[in-house]
Amino acid sequence: MAGAKRFIAVTLSTVLAFALSGPAHASSGSTTIVSDRNITVEVIASNGSGCAPGTARVTGNADDTGFRVRYQNFTAEAGGNADPTSSRKNCQLSVLVTTPPGWTVAIAEAEYRGRAHLHSGASALHRTNYYWQGSSRDNRVNERFAGPFFGTWSTRDVEAVLHYAPCAEQRVLNLNTELRVDARGSSSRSSMSMSATEGNAETLFNISWARC
């Protein structure tokens, strides 16, 4: 796993709205108590073998501390009688993020959760990168898993330095996720999914707020 800021975890921490670093036009200073914030999020584009149209959706947290992406049927598998094209699945999402006038946000923490069923000798890869549209900065997570492994996995990416979106009421967050499974010649089927429980899966983003 690349970088000391990334580690495996199963508990999602609440991120306080601290203005640790700001965009070019965001105010700097001490902790900001946000009373008039309200974030809305919407999937405006989706593409890839892991997220057919209508199978990925995004919802904001009730307390406006972040949002979550839910997938359906985002599973890669290999070995046994699995279709060879199923060993790699990907999903590209564009999420429209709308904030009140005078506010901007940064992604402070992301958590990716799923399940894996890897037989001895098999391996799997979870890879995600995300970035604000028009920005040259992106965040990447690459996590490998080796069999035998049967259960829930969770990868957390905590930002050491916050990068705020340009001050505007709307901005687009691009999110690219990939799953790969290599059965290594095993006759048993191995799989990896973005589903941590039965039903929809979740990728969680916690945000930090700053005044523009």
Where is pLDDT greater, at 8 or 175?
Answer: 175
pLDDT band at residue 200, thresholds of 50, 70 and 90? low
Mean of pLDDT values over 29-36? 43
Residue 92 and residue 104 in contact, taking contact as beta carbons nearer than 8 Å: no
Nearest-angstrom CA–CA distance, 212 and 164: 10
Nearest-angstrom CA–CA distance, 172 and 151: 33
Is residue 151 helix, strand or coil? strand
For 75-84, the pLDDT digits (tens) are 999 999 999 9
Is residue 106 helix, strand or coil? strand
Residue reference for tokens 């999903």: 91
Mean of pLDDT values over 128-136? 89
Nearest-angstrom CA–CA distance, 41 and 61: 10
Q: Over 80: is that where the pLDDT of 152 sits? A: yes
- State the pLDDT at residue 198: 54
Mean of pLDDT values over 162-184? 91
Nearest-angstrom CA–CA distance, 48 and 176: 9
For the entire predicted model, the pTM comes to 0.79
Q: Over 80: is that where the pLDDT of 114 sits? A: yes
Closest CA to 78 of 124, 35, 133, 29: 124
Nearest-angstrom CA–CA distance, 152 and 195: 9
- State the pLDDT at residue 3: 41
